[in-house]
Amino acid sequence: MKHENAKYLRPQHLSGLELVRDICCGNLEGGSVGSTEVTLTPGKIKAGNHTADPQTAGSVGLLLQVSLPCALYADGPSELCLKGGTNADMAPQIDYTIKVFKPIVEKFGVHFNCDLRMRGYYPKGGGEVVAKVSPVSELSPVNMTERGTISKIYGRSFVAGVLPYKLAKDMATTATRVIRREIKDLYINIHTLQEKDMACGSGNGIIIIAESSTGCIFAGSALGKKGVYPDKVGFEAAEMLLRNIRHNGCVDEFLQDQLILFMALANGISRIRTGPVTLHTKTAIHVAEQLTQAKFTVTKADDENASNDTYIIECQGVGVTNPHF
């Protein structure tokens, strides 16, 4: 695998590459901070204990994204010790990974658990998650085309370190008010909390999750920043959630691209109903087709519940099998 990019290699990128290299007993060339060209030649996928630590607030969730598909085809269980930022900007919060990504990817036959041992925030990181992954013989296709009705809305609004608890309350209050403008008949249960012993550094944020009657899960989230009022953070998360349930799809805009590789690897035809197809998803489809020879099609949904921006992503997976089973 060769990757050339105008952006130089950063510590979190290098940590992910080294993690994958270790799992697949591969050879990594150009693996140094500042490099713009990297070559990874994979070998045999190896079970066991693997650790990744960028020593920054590099996203733990992104480290899991690159390592989980490899660990699934190992010759035994794997334990991934992932360190860095658990709630980082421009990446899925660990709460999203556990509450949204995990239950949906399990529909493919994936089995893993996440032990959240310490939360870490920008800029130092310091978070730690241990994921235990069970190997599979092959992945099953999924059919997620019936959204149903939204049946539950809940969330988590938090502050950590030296930040005052009032920020968590203000974020939750604003988010609840915004959601109630559109969804009036459901109780919205957003827990507010102040993290102390289980957090490294200071930070604040919110994640709001909606579940449907057919098992679809959506989320909206936001992190606080210096100079940004908590009302704005809560508003951003609520609007993100509402945007992702208005199109009557079955996955949100952030889960789309995370499922593409599993669709490509599965044995059979997978179909997922979604809202507007993101650039991340289009890129993931292109890369997956190049690497696996899987075939994707994206078409507009034409049923009575579809809006102008509702789509069906379909994939004929290649049915990769684990040679150790």
Which residues lie below 8 Å from residue 17, measured CB to CB, with a gap of 6+? 9, 28, 31, 38, 40
Please spell the DSSP secondary structure of 225-292, one letter per residue.
-TT--HHHHHHHHHHHHHHHHHT--SB-TTTHHHHHHHHHHSSSEEEEEESSPPHHHHHHHHHHHHHH
Q: What is the DSSP letter of 321?
A: B
Which residues are registered as beta bridge partners of 297?
Answer: 314
- List b or e across 265-298, with b for residues whose CB sees 16 or more CB atoms inside 10 angstroms: bbbeebbbbbbebeeebeebbeebeeebebebee
- Is residue 74 within 8 A of residue 324, CB to CB? The reply is yes
C-alpha to C-alpha distance for 275 and 184, rounded to whole angstroms: 23
Catalytic-role residue among 50, 280, 286, 324:
280
Read off φ and ψ for residue 112, nearest 5 degrees.
-155, 155
Strands 311-316 and 269-274: antiparallel
For the chain, helix (H) and strand (E) counts, in that order, are: 8, 16
Instruction: Look at the block and give the residue holding tokens 């994958």.
Output: 20
How far apart are the C-alpha atoms of 173 and 32, rounded to whole Å? Answer: 45
Tokens of 275: 């809202």
Those residues with Cβ within 8 angstroms of residue 150's Cβ, 6 or more apart along the chain or in another chain: 183, 186, 210, 211, 212, 213, 245
Q: Dihedral angle at the C-alpha atoms of 270, 109, 1, 38, nearest 10 degrees?
A: 120
280 in catalytic set: yes
Active site members: 280
